Amino acid sequence: MANKFGGPNIRIPPAFFVAGFLLGLLLESVVAIGFVHGADRVRVLSGIGWWVALLGLLFSLYGVFTFQYAQTPMFPYGKATRVVQRGPYAFTRNPMYVGNAVSYVGIAMVMNSVWPVLLLPLVLWTLYVFVIREEEKYLGELFGDEYAAYRRRVRRWI
């Protein structure tokens, strides 16, 4: 069902990532696990984590810029004008969410915090239930056979 602006009636997706990560940090403060121990290992993990987080950010931005180039709104409250099938959308239907998930893992690595990563499947499931499922329903109603063909050809994640 569309909202008053013509877009899908959904919540703001990044909130799910932030909430899951904060809950993970809370759990880490109660029961610290950590990926590695020892200052040298933590430093190496942190360095790798920054690169992983940057890679996720760049992939998300690739999705954002692809939407801008296609001149269709990327925010869930705007009415979609076309099915974007180029750039990262040629091999994942959700490059921004994939990029967010990669950055989420990278930041957890930087912080040497395992709990957020353990909660990531719950975050992604919640994102699917409250956001992606609604987006897909909306796009299916709006674009019909074109979106159905796209869904058959391109995976939701990777």
Question: What is the number of structural domains in the chain?
Answer: 1
Query: What is the extent of the structural domain holding 138?
Result: 37-153
Residue 69 in domain: yes
17 in a structural domain: no
Helix crossing, 95-110 with 14-30: angle to 10°?
20
More confident: 110 or 80: 110
Is 10 part of a structural domain of the chain?
A: no
Q: Which residue has the higher pLDDT, 135 or 53?
A: 53
Greater model confidence, 48 or 81: 48
d(CA 84, CA 104): 25
Instruction: Indicate whether 45 belongs to any domain.
Output: yes
The answer to whether residue 47 is domain-embedded is: yes
pLDDT at 9: 61
Quick one: average pLDDT of 7-31?
A: 85
107 in any annotated domain: yes
What is the predicted pLDDT for the residue at 6?
53
Dihedrals φ, ψ of 125, to 5°?
-65, -45
Q: Is the pLDDT of residue 24 over 90?
A: yes
Please state, rounded to an integer, the average pLDDT across all residues of the chain. 91
Whether residue 146 is contained in a domain is answered as yes
**Is 90 within a domain?**
yes
CB of 131 within 8 A of CB of 68? no
Q: Residue 125 and residue 73: Cα distance in Å, rounded? A: 24
43 C-beta neighbours (distance < 10 Å), count: 12
Confidence category of residue 4, pLDDT binned at 50, 70, 90: very low
- Write down the pLDDT at residue 2: 53
Mean pLDDT calculated for residue range 34-44: 95
Of 139, 54, 36, 158, give the one whose Cα is nearest residue 150. Answer: 139
Cβ contacts of 137 within 8 Å, gap of 6 or more: 8
pLDDT band at 131 (very low <50, low <70, confident <90, very high): confident
pLDDT tens track for 142-154: 999 999 999 999 9
pTM of the model: 0.91
Q: What gap in Å lies between CA 76 and CA 1, rounded to an integer?
A: 12
